[in-house]
Structure 1
Amino acid sequence: MRPPDVSAPQLCFGQVRHRRMRPSANAFAYASYYLRLPIRSLGSQGFNAHLVSRNRFNLLSFFDADHGDGQRPLIEWIDTLLEAEGVSDADGEIWLQAMPRVLGYAFNPVSFWFCHRADGALRAVLCDVRNTFGERHFYLLDTGAAIANGSELRARKVFHVSPFCRIEGGYRFRFMRAARGQSEHTLARIDYHDADGLLLETSVSGVAARLCDASVARAFFAFPLMTFGVVARIHWQALRLWLRRVPFYSKPAPPEQKVSR
């Protein structure tokens, strides 16, 4: 899996899908969009556009403090974390995939840091997972070598996200990136298996466009309240499961260790 030839910020248009297998089947899909930012190349620069800003209010915006530890420069934070976890060769581009703020508001259920080696190969992926209780946890996907496009990566579940799932079993991840004509397509798939097998299938897919005023206008006016809708959909789907009497599990204390594999 290689980064694009030109390290330019992207706005990707696509779809979020979710399917629950049991005890009551439930599935939904909705159109969405997200940012993909080359953190190492971008440095402290802003965006060359009027409708999207970095660290200040706009139709769409990206705030550094929403990611990392909220204090250090993003590239310093991710490099330090990787080094502490024994990943010393992710010295190429690092792409952050996350939802922007829309009119100043954002909630990212999961953000992905795609960490490449200097030769362009994907070396590790850091998944920043958040729940609606204001907690977050990092899953570091690291095989010790380059990660092939579409290969399966696994992590044991240790963090509470949904009250309709126990903290048991694990996640299986697949990340794909492909050029089709003049377009670049990305897919992040996460399947959750508990003690009884496959329980949830989720995916986020998109087609990359250059982050510019035209793409921002397209995103904002097509989905003017997208990030508000993310939280609304989470609670709506939770209500549907509750009405179907899917077992409910109280929130336990978060894990003490912030990064797991």
Structure 2
Amino acid sequence: MSEHSALYSGSVMHQRLRPVVHRLRYRVFSLLLDLDELPRLADRLRFFSLDRFNLFSLHQRDHGAGGDQGLRPYVEDQLHAAGFATGGAIRLLAMPRILGYAFNPLSVYFCHHPVGGLQAILYEVNNTFGERHSYLIPVDEAHRQAGELTQHCAKRFHVSPFLALDMRYRFAITTPREHDERLRIAVTASDGEGPVLTACFDARRRTLDDRQLLRAFVAFPLLTLKVIAAIHWEALHLWAKGLRLRRRPGAPERKVTVVDNKHS
């Protein structure tokens, strides 16, 4: 049976545009995991497990509501509550646990309509304070079959201590497609004066098998530790360049912000 899951290898770039300029780039990989394929992947792959320790693993409590609820029921609950159809494919793009540890600043769920086509994207954001918030944004009908799309929303969740809450996000996505090996996710955070920060993940599709997992482990050793270290290293550089910490606001009351594109 053909699988939709894949491994994406590439790099992440962060660039602060003002009031100081700072740029950071590092190599990463992520897994695109079709939620319906998770049990089969765990059975087929020697170095990947579901909800248990392995060289690579996905623990469902690292995502969603963070409890015992499976990821597909959790995402479908969000879709249903927002008026979307349920029953379609849901594919999660995220870094796995490596030797038991993972930190995903951003995980992305591509939510498909039961009869095909992308109907919504759920952006799941984690900060370094152990908090999580998601943005559920519809995909307009004209872009459901397209390979590229752009989405916007207001920022509702505190992430960086150097960024204000009164900002807007722009997501520019080249969606994962089996006949196109490219994947690109670019996020721009802007305030009333324009863009302040851009971040981009550029990657190429690889088959998700044990050989590629071992190659990824050798090429990106202790990747998830490197990501959290890079976040704090970047913060230190920004502080040294003169930026000062902002007061941390409280987390949003709702765990998921549902975006109405017509009024966002």
TM-score of the pair, normalised by structure 1: 0.91
Which residue of the partner structure matches residue 247 of structure 2?
250
Aligned: 1:55 with 2:43 = no
* Alignment size in residue pairs: 255
Which residue of the partner structure matches residue 210 of structure 1?
207
Determine which of 18, 41, 45 is the counterpart of 1:22: 18
Partner AA of 2:131 in structure 1: E
Which residue of the partner structure matches residue 151 of structure 1?
149
Aligned: 1:133 with 2:98 = no
235-244 or 72-81: which moved more? Answer: 72-81
Which residue of the partner structure matches residue 76 of structure 2?
79
- Classify 1:178/1:52 alpha carbon distance in 2 versus 1 (closer, same or farther; 3 Å): closer
RMSD: 2.0
Alpha-carbon contact 1:60-1:103 (below 8 Å) kept: yes
Partner AA of 1:122 in structure 2: L
Task: Structure 1: give runs of 5+ residues left out of the alignment.
Answer: none
Partner AA of 2:230 in structure 1: R
Partner AA of 1:120 in structure 2: G
Which residue of the partner structure matches residue 40 of structure 1?
36
| Aligned-pair CA distance for 1:44 | 7.1
Which of structure 1's runs of 4+ aligned residues deviate more than 4 A?
A: none
| Aligned-pair CA distance for 1:232 | 0.4
Alpha-carbon contact 2:5-2:31 (below 8 Å) kept: yes
Which residue of the partner structure matches residue 87 of structure 2?
91
Q: Quick one: distance in 2 between partners of 1:252 and 1:212?
A: 43
Which residue of the partner structure matches residue 262 of structure 2?
none
SS at match of 2:231: helix
Once the two structures are superposed, residues 212-232 of structure 1 have per-residue CA deviations (whole angstroms, 9 ceiling, x without a partner) of 110111011122111001110
Q: Quick one: distance in 2 between partners of 1:57 and 1:43?
A: 15
72-81 or 30-39: which moved more? Answer: 72-81
Determine which of 162, 179, 200 is the counterpart of 2:197: 200
Q: Quick one: distance in 2 between partners of 1:43 and 1:79?
A: 18
148-157 or 229-238: which moved more? Answer: 148-157
42-51 or 238-247: which moved more? Answer: 42-51
| Aligned-pair CA distance for 1:143 | 4.5
Which residue of the partner structure matches residue 103 of structure 2?
107
SS at match of 2:181: strand
Task: Structure 2: give runs of 5+ residues left out of the alignment.
Answer: 260-264
SS at match of 1:46: helix
Identity of aligned residues (%): 38
126-135 or 250-259: which moved more? Answer: 250-259
Which residue of the partner structure matches residue 174 of structure 1?
172
Partner AA of 1:230 in structure 2: V
TM-score of the pair, normalised by structure 2: 0.90
SS at match of 2:188: strand
| Aligned-pair CA distance for 1:197 | 0.6
SS at match of 1:173: strand
Q: Quick one: distance in 2 between partners of 1:85 and 1:44?
A: 30
